[in-house]
Structure 1
């Protein structure tokens, strides 16, 4: 199972970083090409369910995307340190781990994805080609998150 681990330093206290991270409906403000469509259940705890659409908006089809529906269930909740979501969609599967770590006057945010690759052997062979694009997207999202969290009012 491939694992992707990326991190960013945020100029904000851990409590603000946590609040920004777990503001699920606002995730599209920082996560590249993502819109959170629904949040149900105890979104601020274990059992919460999220559905996000990741992809490119189709300008001629208002509200529609060319991409994937990423459904998730919160499986661990340890504020303000760690939240784990289990991706349960048809394409995106496996745990996503978000960790908030105090680091002096700042906070380190660590994003880990443990991917269950789709499409069997084709997915396994294609991962080395797709990985650099995924890394670039995650790194860009993390830079956007650092700005988002620093300015977050919570």
Structure 2
């Protein structure tokens, strides 16, 4: 069960970085071959559930997620969103933190633990590397787009 962690700095105020990173449907534009379907009415809060379906046809996998911590940045304090992965195949969790930085910038910390049911641990290094690349690229894309 690989765990990844990375940081990004964005030339955005924390509230805008948060908005971009937690707009779940926008993730579909940042992750190839992925569609997002929000299962609960908005706005996002603890208990919000959504599905990221990645792949093509019968080779697609559903990543079912539920927001378990929803604390947007406010008053100079960092924001934290925690997602629990509740699917049949993809399990684990993700955390997105958005910290205020200097000069109106934001510092983003993304942590994720990913487990794929039935995938032997011998594949953990490859899964870790692919996840770090994919999620790091997605975060960069979300923070750059308006």
Shared fold by TM > 0.5?
yes
Which bin holds the TM-score, normalised by the shorter protein? 0.7 to 0.9
- Structure 2: gaps (5+ residues): 74-78
Listed as ranges, the matches of 1:74-153 within 5 Å are 74-80=67-73, 81-105=79-103, 106-119=105-118, 122-148=119-145, 151=146
Measured in 2, the distance between the counterparts of 1:117 and 1:145 equals 25
Q: Once the 2 structures are TM-superposed, how far is the Cα of residue 32 of structure 1 from its aligned partner?
A: 3.9
Any gaps of 5 or more consecutive residues in structure 1?
58-63
Residue by residue over 1:66-102, the C-alpha shift from the partner in whole angstroms, topping out at 9 and shown as x without a partner, is 3211101111011120110100112211111011111
Q: 1:65 to 1:37 in 2, by over 3 A?
A: farther
Q: Summarize the Cα distance change of 1:4–1:139 in structure 2 as closer, same or farther, 3 Å threshold.
A: same
Aligned CA RMSD, in angstroms, stands at 1.9
Counterpart-to-counterpart distance in 2, 1:128 and 1:136: 12
Distance 1:5 1:24 in 2: 20
Deviation at 1:42, TM superposition (A): 5.2
Deviation at 1:10, TM superposition (A): 1.0
TM value normalised by structure 2? 0.84
Post-superposition offset of 1:41: 4.6
SS at match of 1:40: coil
* SS of residue matched to 1:5: strand
SS at match of 2:117: coil
In structure 1, C-alpha distance between the alignment counterparts of 2:126 and 2:29, rounded to whole Å: 27
Cα distance in 1 for partners of 2:32, 2:12 equals: 21
> What's the TM-score once normalised by structure 1's chain length?
0.80
Deviation at 1:16, TM superposition (A): 0.6
Query: How many residues in Structure 1 have an aligned counterpart in Structure 2?
Result: 140
